[in-house]
């Protein structure tokens, strides 16, 4: 994976956020960490292009966001869309799940990711 310069402030913020996962983020992380999902590697709170994404699978250029209720307000929807567009221009695909989807349907969330990545023999 190519290495990019990450500003010290972004790196420090990422380290802080890794220690302060929400309950939904922790549930997702426990499902995918240590290559638990079909051997696929994920990173949490990864800095990309000046943004801090919840989870990323660099091998497949896939970003996973686990969103709470605050992301359903108009200003946040517009900010998220602009961020998604910028990351898409860099070749990243964004997938968003609500906290509720992660809490109630973690197996479906994981199966959906496998379909996106192209591992359909188990999906």
The CATH class of 8-116 is alpha beta
In the block, tokens 């973690």 appear at 106
Mean pLDDT of 100-117: 96
Q: What is the pLDDT of residues 42-88, one digit of tens each?
A: 999 999 998 899 999 999 999 999 988 554 556 778 888 999 999 99
The DSSP H or E segment spanning 9 is: helix 8-18
Q: State yes or no: pLDDT of 35 exceeds 80.
A: yes
Selection from 100, 1, 109, 71 nearest residue 117 by Cα: 109
């Amino acid at each position: 994976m190519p290495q990019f310069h990450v500003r010290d402030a972004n790196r420090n913020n990422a380290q802080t956020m890794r220690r302060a996962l929400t309950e939904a983020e922790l549930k997702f992380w426990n499902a995918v960490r240590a290559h638990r999902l079909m051997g696929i590697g994920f990173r949490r709170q990864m800095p990309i292009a000046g943004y801090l994404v919840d989870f990323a699978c660099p091998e497949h250029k896939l970003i996973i966001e686990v969103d709470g209720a605050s992301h359903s307000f108009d200003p946040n929807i517009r900010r998220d869309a602009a961020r998604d567009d910028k990351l898409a221009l860099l070749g990243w695909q964004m997938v968003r799940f609500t906290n509720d989807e992660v809490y109630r349907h973690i197996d479906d969330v994981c199966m959906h990711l496998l379909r996106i990545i192209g591992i359909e023999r188990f999906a």
